[in-house]
């Protein structure tokens, strides 16, 4: 039996696929409910408070208490013996919940990975890169320290045998003290990289150290003083030192894999770094802030693939959420095609371009090829996993959509971009009429990114189909709050090569709760 498969009496639990089986039949159950089950099992019969469950199941996210009640009810339905039979999850008034009568599950969980603490540790080498400390004493240089981390993560993610947690997940520790063991446990990684950046004039000083998350041993540490013109070579050098410390025999073999085309103009690079916080949002107002920075970067370096890719995303956001203007659609496609032309070895640029091309150029065949190429270059690239999962879901390619969404969630459980992964799962489940699972996934999508109007729309549809009409209408109002221009026709225009059979059930639900055509 696989180390992530647990058998207990009539039941089975697959921690990788997050599935529960009963008498050999898969029981529809959401991932949050399984996290609660594992947390209760790990307590070995002791009471687990609601606050503890919230911390373990929704780390770093504020959720309402009734979320726990919904998932506990689903667990009871799946586990209990029916009317008059044994109840395995007992409510302890004023204290929390306790698991009873499933000692084989408690023993199995105790001997296996503790999924209640986050992703199960993999036998594959894995690493989290913490935000580098800005040691310049000037908040204006914060973006540069963050950009250094982004580049190192990009280099590491090109190593096929290494799993890399995304920047957006690890940045929950920005400007916060973090115990290495805590970080390693939270993300299920073996190694943690931390460091600091001091930028002054045309010089930069970088410190970095690699730590074993299990033993807290320092595997490698170095300090560099360089001129800014050497910054890209320095990023590669740090990445290679990390690889060499983890697996010395593979260091030389992986050197070429890490290296990729870099911008030749440091001022252009600086402008892209400054745009990054605005690009990562999908809000049109943020895109307005990023567009002039990226346009200035392209004036300095017209073949800068990352700048083209990010501009494509910004114009996509404006087109999809701020009026469906033809000029924004044309600009988004032009810059996406520019990213492909100049960034054939840049996984993030290819993934961002593929997303634009699928959604508003409606060339899904090209988009899928680009996603595959991006994942060949970097199988830990969260952009490629998340973006391709949602496109595949709308196309009705359910199995591959689920696989990529689940891989994104395992790699980077706290990344707000995983709103797309949860949304892909919600879309697949809704299409398959697994409405309870769709509701669970849609709620997770909204928690991951509360400003994502499409997540609210899918949540509204799932609420309606699970008999919560009043809540569905309230969720529909949230859609219009976050995107006043929302229409069903507009979603149809910016959902790429979607299958009509996938879209129609959503459209029917949205009309029923009063969202505009």
Class of domain 381-517: mainly alpha
Is the per-residue pLDDT at 1 higher than 90?
A: no
Write a three-state SS string for 168-188.
HHHHHHCCCCCCHHHHHHHHC
pLDDT single digits (tens) 208-231: 888 888 888 888 888 888 887 777
Domain 5-117 shares a fold with domain 125-258: no
Is the per-residue pLDDT at 120 higher than 50?
A: no
Q: How far apart are CA 197 and CA 135, in angstroms?
A: 6
Is the per-residue pLDDT at 115 higher than 50?
A: no
Report the percentage of the chain scoring pLDDT > 70: 81
Q: How far apart are CA 38 and CA 56, in angstroms?
A: 10
Report the percentage of the chain scoring pLDDT > 90: 26
Q: How is domain 5-117 classified at the CATH fold level?
A: Arc Repressor Mutant, subunit A (1.10.10)
Predicted confidence at residue 515, as pLDDT, reads: 93
- Structure pTM? 0.65
Predicted confidence at residue 294, as pLDDT, reads: 94
pLDDT single digits (tens) 333-344: 999 999 999 888
Q: What angle do CA 330, 336, 340 make, to 5 degrees?
A: 145
Q: How far apart are CA 98 and CA 282, in angstroms?
A: 41
Lowest mean pLDDT of 248-257, 458-467, 503-512, name the range: 248-257
Q: What is the average per-residue pLDDT within 262-285?
A: 83
Predicted confidence at residue 51, as pLDDT, reads: 78
Domain boundaries, the chain: 5-117, 125-258, 381-517
pLDDT single digits (tens) 300-353: 999 999 999 999 999 999 998 888 899 999 999 999 999 999 888 888 899 999
Class of domain 125-258: alpha beta
Q: How far apart are CA 352 and CA 305, in angstroms?
A: 11
Is the per-residue pLDDT at 124 higher than 70?
A: no
Shortest CA distance to 335 belongs to which of 319, 317, 315? Answer: 315
Predicted confidence at residue 332, as pLDDT, reads: 94
Is the per-residue pLDDT at 201 higher than 90?
A: no
Write a three-state SS string for 66-79.
HHHHHHHHHHHHHH
pLDDT single digits (tens) 69-91: 777 877 777 776 554 445 678 77
Predicted confidence at residue 2, as pLDDT, reads: 43
Predicted confidence at residue 388, as pLDDT, reads: 93
DSSP bridge partners of 193 = 129, 210
Predicted confidence at residue 376, as pLDDT, reads: 86
pLDDT single digits (tens) 136-180: 777 777 888 888 888 888 878 777 778 888 887 888 888 888 888
pLDDT single digits (tens) 400-424: 998 888 888 877 777 777 888 999 9
């Amino acid at each position: 039996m696989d180390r992530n498969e647990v058998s207990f009496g009539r039941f089975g639990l697959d921690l990788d696929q997050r599935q529960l089986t009963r008498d050999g039949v898969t029981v529809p159950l959401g991932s949050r409910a399984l996290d609660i089950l594992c947390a209760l099992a790990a307590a070995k019969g002791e009471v687990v408070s609601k606050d503890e469950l919230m911390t373990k199941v929704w780390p770093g996210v504020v959720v309402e208490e009734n979320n726990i009640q919904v998932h506990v009810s689903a667990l009871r339905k799946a586990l209990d013996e029916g009317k008059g039979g044994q109840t395995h999850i007992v409510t302890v008034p004023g204290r929390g919940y306790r698991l009873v009568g499933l000692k084989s599950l408690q023993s199995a969980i105790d001997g296996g990975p503790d999924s209640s603490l986050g992703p199960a540790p993999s036998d594959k080498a894995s690493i989290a890169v913490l935000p580098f400390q800005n040691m310049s004493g000037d908040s204006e240089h914060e973006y540069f320290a963050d950009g250094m981390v982004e580049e190192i993560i990009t280099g590491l993610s090109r190593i096929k045998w290494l799993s890399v947690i995304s920047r957006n997940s690890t940045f929950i520790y920005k400007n916060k003290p973090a115990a290495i063991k805590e970080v390693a446990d939270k993300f299920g990684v073996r190694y943690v990289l931390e460091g600091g950046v001091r930028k002054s004039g045309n010089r930069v000083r970088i410190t970095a150290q690699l730590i074993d998350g299990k033993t807290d041993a320092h595997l490698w540490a170095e300090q560099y003083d360089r001129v800014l013109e050497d910054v890209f070579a320095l990023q590669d050098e740090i990445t290679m030192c990390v690889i060499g410390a983890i697996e010395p025999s593979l260091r030389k073999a992986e050197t070429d894999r890490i290296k990729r085309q870099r911008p030749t103009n440091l001022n252009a690079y600086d402008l892209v770094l400054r745009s990054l916080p605005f690009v990562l949002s999908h809000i049109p107002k943020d895109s307005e802030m990023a567009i002039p920075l990226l346009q200035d970067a392209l004036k300095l370096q017209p073949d800068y693939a990352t700048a083209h890719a990010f501009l494509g995303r910004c114009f996509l956001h404006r087109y999809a959420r701020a009026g469906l203007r033809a000029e924004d659609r044309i600009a988004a496609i032009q810059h996406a095609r520019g990213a492909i032309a100049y960034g054939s070895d840049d996984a993030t640029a290819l993934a961002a371009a593929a997303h634009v091309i699928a959604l508003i150029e409606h060339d899904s065949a090209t988009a899928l090829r680009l996603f595959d190429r991006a994942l060949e270059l970097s199988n830990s690239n969260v952009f490629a996993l998340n973006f391709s999962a949602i496109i595949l879901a709308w196309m009705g390619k359910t199995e591959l959509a689920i696989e990529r969404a689940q891989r994104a969630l395992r790699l980077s459980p706290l990344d707000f971009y995983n709103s797309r992964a949860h949304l892909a799962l919600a879309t697949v489940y809704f299409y398959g009429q697994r409405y309870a699972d769709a509701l669970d996934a849609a709620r997770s999508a909204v928690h991951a990114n509360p400003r994502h109007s499409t997540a609210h729309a899918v949540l509204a549809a799932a609420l309606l189909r699970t008999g919560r009409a009043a809540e569905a209408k309230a969720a529909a109002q949230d859609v219009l709050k976050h995107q006043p221009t929302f229409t069903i026709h507009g979603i149809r225009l910016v959902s790429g090569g979607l299958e009509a059979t996938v879209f129609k059930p959503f459209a029917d639900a949205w009309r029923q709760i009063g969202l505009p055509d």
